[in-house]
Amino acid sequence: MKAKRFVILSITVTILAASFFFMGQTGIVFAAADAGRGPGGPGAPGNPGTPQGAGQGTANPQGAGLGTAYRGAVEAPGAPGGRGYGYGMSGQAGAALTPLSAQEAEGLQDAILEEYGALNLYQSVIAQFGNVIPFSQIAASEQQHVNALVRQAEKYGVSVPANPGLAAAPTFATLADACKAGVEAETVDGALYDTLKAFTTHADLLRVYDALQAASLENHLLAFQTCD
């Protein structure tokens, strides 16, 4: 009987010892698992992105640069325990304007003043004879000429001269006499653009001069030559 109790006691001790050993190992495992689940260290800071390429610009009809920027990968600051990535825009829109030379800037101001003179003349004819054709139409066109030249001046940072007006409003006996004055004004206008184009190197400004000169010599001049 005593032997049987001893065997049972031995088995119980063995089971308890095994249980304690297993629990100890489990604790180690759980502790390791908890350590594994802990917060990671701070991620390495992101590096600045490298532009994939410079923007390429095209000019609109008024010369303003319109650019397309290329997208480049940028390494963002890392999240705790890792590294993140984002995207940024790189590239430069449009090309910088080359300033006008002093002669070009002065020539642009002369063109504005010339167009003012024609506009003022035609408006004075309208004031005397009423809203007559072709003066009403050409006066509106001259205002557009002024606007086109002023846009160029503003784009290049050239001071825009004020309209000085007419020193004295001319008086015409007939509409035909007024038309002759229009012929003279448009002839002078066309000749001025020949002078300006001789020393102008900026392609956008040359295009404006060409367009305004063509309007003067091919449209306005012809209209005044045939009016009465």
CA distance 190 to 224: 14
pTM: 0.60
φ and ψ at residue 59, rounded to 5 degrees: -95, 140
Token pair listed for 198: 């001789």
Which H helix or E strand runs over 137? helix 135-156
Q: What is the pLDDT of residues 166-199, one digit of tens each?
A: 988 899 999 999 999 999 999 999 999 999 999 9
CA distance 64 to 154: 11
Residue 13 pLDDT > 90: no
The predicted pLDDT at position 96 comes to 77
Residue 69 pLDDT > 80: no
Residue of 58, 57, 56, 60 lying closest to 151 (CA atoms): 60
The predicted pLDDT at position 146 comes to 98
CA distance 47 to 36: 28
Specify the CATH superfamily of domain 103-225.
Answer: Ferritin, core subunit, four-helix bundle (1.20.1260.10)
Domain boundaries, the chain: 103-225
CB 175 within 8 A of CB 130: no
Q: What is the pLDDT of residues 76-101, one digit of tens each?
A: 333 334 433 333 333 334 457 899 99
User: How many residues are there in the chain?
Assistant: 228
The predicted pLDDT at position 95 comes to 55
Residue 5 pLDDT > 70: no
